[in-house]
Amino acid sequence: MNKFAFIIIGIVAAMAVLIALPSISQPIAGDLEIDYSKQHLSKIGDGFVATRLELLSISNDGSATYSDTDPRLKILPVEERFMVNDDDYRKLRGLILDTGFTEIPHTDYLQVAEGVDEYTKYALTVRSGETQKTFNWVDAYEGGTVPYLIETAGSSLDAIAQRRT
């Protein structure tokens, strides 16, 4: 009886490996497009002025464009094109499509705390199939807390932008 159980377990494990191998070796592509922006704002006089603007767009094939500019200089930003590595794309895809991210109700988290002289405003748009979600938030949010999944997606995109090659 024990030998029979070990044989069955061995066959099941071998089949699981054979099924998993093709999906591990193939590049990840899917129906996921992302537009992410960060606007760094500083208080000047009675208002706020953007001192830096970062834009990151990721297409469903993993290709990406990134730009970083100072809007006060009034020059066109230079776009860098790169491929998001498979591991980063797989993690990002899992975070957005497998965690309930797309089920977060649309709310903007833009209420800036009083007395803040500098803050960052974020915008994230995610498209997958017929679904599109857009979230806007600030790092100095006064109205409570920004959902963890939104902040995690922003941090993941920041890391991808920093690792671009």
pLDDT of residue 23: 41
What burial class does residue 71 get, using C-beta atoms within 10 Å of its C-beta: 0-12 exposed, 13-18 middle, 19+ buried?
middle
CB under 8 Å to 97, separation ≥6 — which residues? 30, 32, 128
Give the global pTM. Answer: 0.77
Average pLDDT score over residue span 147-165? 91
Question: pLDDT digits over 119-150, tens only?
Answer: 999 999 999 888 899 999 999 888 788 889 99
Residue 85 within any structural domain of the chain? yes
Helix 148-163 to helix 86-97 angle (10° resolution) is: 170
* Number of independent structural domains in the chain: 1
Provide the pLDDT confidence category of residue 28 given band limits of 50, 70 and 90. Answer: very low
Residue 10 within any structural domain of the chain? no
pLDDT of residue 36: 97
Residue 103 within any structural domain of the chain? yes
Average pLDDT score over residue span 94-104? 88
Residue numbers of the domain that contains 83: 33-163
Question: pLDDT digits over 69-78, tens only?
Answer: 998 887 888 8
The whole-angstrom separation of Cα 5 and Cα 55 is: 56
Query: pLDDT averaged over the chain?
Result: 84
What burial class does residue 73 get, using C-beta atoms within 10 Å of its C-beta: 0-12 exposed, 13-18 middle, 19+ buried?
exposed
Tell me the CATH number at 144. 3.30.1560.10
Provide the pLDDT confidence category of residue 12 given band limits of 50, 70 and 90. Answer: low
Residue 15 within any structural domain of the chain? no
pLDDT at 153 over 60: yes
pLDDT at 27 over 60: no
